[in-house]
């Protein structure tokens, strides 16, 4: 287990400086399709972040633990109920969630890449087992004692937390077989020196669970291949609007035979297209390569949120114009709002701001921000 010190020194919760006597640990999941802990650290390390603050995030891509408050600091992680607040007694830890899920309201979600989602959940679960075993040893807590290790959902049932369903909603929705009782058993086993994977297996066996992962629920019925997105006709029109079109083959400045909207594959002298619609069809085919670069960024976790079709189209247009390297630079570790903010900066050619690129970035940004 790797713990990175990322204390939120600008957050009002940290500045309040209140301490607690640690009596338990509460497990959360973030409730949005964001696997990067660094995104939350940046967002919450601000004086304006006055509504929430937890002790740690577990990164979905790496399993690293980002400690954001001293462990005995009073956090704002669970709200309260008629029996008081778990903020006064429990350390709160958030597990990041897969980028390949999309919430449909409340705790319900759909998943478009089951394999990736399960890998993220397994990674955060195993890191949480190790972290909670560490904290139980540090504060001499019995993980199997009543109320010591609970989820946000269980905190609500005990009337010491707000009405959330995490993280059980994520585990059950993906059909991965994890339960809070199994988690507590796994923490106990880890405290006895067993690796997280072995500890989880022991916990599963204690519950009579199968060693094989449970079949995914209906909301994860789609195969991983469905995660691949393709540019829409609207996206093709955006690109075409900024690219010149010639229906007869010509040599570009680099000496390559070209036709339509910059198509070069298999073009010979004398070739001619019958219409601009034919040229657009070739352009759409060429854009699949650049849409593939966007899909690769999603698979690698460089894009850590679920893309809408308009966002995908805008990024494909950007990649077609600026290249894969600049695409990766634009999106890596950033949420949608920051990407939209940074898009207009790519407006220079030869060190000078070009009006055509200014207009193109504005159009891509407008499409990116369109629901």
Active-site residues, by number, are: 243, 252
Of 225, 223, 232, 224, residue with least CA distance to 312 = 232
Tell how many helices (H) and how many strands (E) occur in the chain. 13, 12
Contacts of 331 (CB under 8 A, 6+ apart): 297, 302, 303, 315, 339
Output the six-digit token pair for 289.
């390569």
Quick one: residue 175, left, alpha or beta (phi over 0 = left, psi -120 to 50 = alpha)? left
Contacts of 94 (CB under 8 A, 6+ apart): 28, 29, 30, 40, 54, 56, 57, 58, 77
Helix ranges (DSSP H) in 165-308: 168-174, 180-191, 196-206, 233-242, 276-299
| Strand, helix or coil for residue 78 | coil
């Amino acid at each position: 287990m790797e713990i990175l010190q990322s204390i939120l020194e600008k957050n009002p919760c940290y500045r309040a400086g209140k301490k607690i006597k640690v009596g338990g640990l509460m497990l959360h999941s973030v409730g949005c399709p964001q696997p990067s802990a660094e995104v939350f650290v940046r967002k919450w390390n601000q004086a304006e972040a006055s509504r929430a603050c937890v002790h740690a995030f577990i990164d979905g891509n790496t399993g690293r633990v980002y400690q954001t408050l001293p462990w005995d600091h009073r956090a704002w992680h669970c709200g309260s109920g008629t029996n008081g607040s778990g903020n006064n007694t429990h350390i709160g830890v958030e597990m990041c969630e897969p980028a390949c899920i999309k919430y449909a309201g409340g705790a319900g979600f759909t998943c478009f890449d089951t394999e990736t989602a399960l890998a993220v959940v397994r990674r955060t679960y195993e890191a949480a087992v190790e972290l909670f075993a560490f904290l139980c040893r540090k504060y001499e807590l019995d993980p199997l004692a009543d109320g010591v290790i609970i989820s946000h959902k269980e905190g609500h049932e005990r009337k010491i937390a707000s009405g959330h369903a995490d993280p059980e909603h994520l585990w059950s929705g993906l059909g991965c077989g994890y339960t809070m009782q199994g988690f507590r058993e796994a923490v106990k086993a880890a405290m006895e020196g067993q690796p997280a994977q072995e500890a989880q297996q022991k916990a599963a066996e204690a519950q009579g669970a199968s060693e094989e992962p449970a079949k995914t629920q209906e909301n994860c019925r789609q195969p991983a291949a469905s995660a691949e997105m393709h540019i829409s006709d609207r996206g093709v029109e955006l690109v075409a609007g900024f690219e010149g079109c010639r229906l007869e083959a010509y040599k570009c400045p680099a000496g390559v035979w070209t036709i339509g909207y910059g198509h070069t594959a298999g073009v010979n002298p004398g070739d001619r297209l019958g219409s601009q619609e034919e040229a657009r069809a070739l352009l759409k085919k060429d854009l699949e390569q650049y849409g593939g670069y966007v899909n690769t960024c999603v698979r690698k976790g460089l894009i850590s949120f679920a893309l809408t079709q308009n966002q995908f189209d805008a990024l494909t247009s950007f990649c077609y114009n600026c290249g894969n390297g600049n695409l990766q630079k634009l999106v890596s570790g950033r949420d949608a709002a920051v990407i939209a903010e940074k898009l207009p900066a790519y407006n220079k050619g030869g060190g000078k701001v070009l009006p055509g690129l200014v207009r193109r970035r504005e159009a891509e940004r407008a499409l990116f921000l369109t629901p």
